[in-house]
Amino acid sequence: MIEIGSRAPAFTLKDQSGTPHRLSSYAGKYVVLYFYPKDDTSGCTKQACAFRDDKRKFSRAGAVVLGVSPQGEPSKAKFAAKYELNFPVLADDDASVCTKYGVWQEKSMYGRKYMGVVRTTYLIDPAGTVVQRWDKVKVGDHAEAVLEFIKAR
């Protein structure tokens, strides 16, 4: 995991439209970088829709929202279209960015171990420093909690 106060690792990933996004392109803004396990699953959909619904509030607070998971661009396109997502969802096909950010971890379900994304959100400040990290996120009121944290800064 990236520690608070550390520089956020650089990356370039393509979104649901095939457009590349570089972290450095968002210099001067807060970046809400949230990692989620899988497109179009119940928890991930709830989380994405909460960020979608609060997009204007995040914009007014000087922040952009970027979602990242290991599914490819076709999955991202379908997910974004189905739920009318109004922010980039980024395809980390090889989980390299998930690994850089420490969210690609061993998980266990029904006694079976496998590698996957542990739901985590990083807040990166306009200078590119990690200023907050939410681990093992519960999706309920998470988007609102992130927004409140930004407003309090």
Catalytically active residues are 44
Determine how β-strand 120-124 pairs with β-strand 30-35. Answer: antiparallel
The structure tokens listed for 23 are: 């972290």
Amino acid at 93: D
Q: Quick one: tokens of 153?
A: 């800064």
Backbone angles phi, psi at 105, to 5 degrees: -135, 165
Q: Copy the structure tokens of residue 60.
A: 């007014």
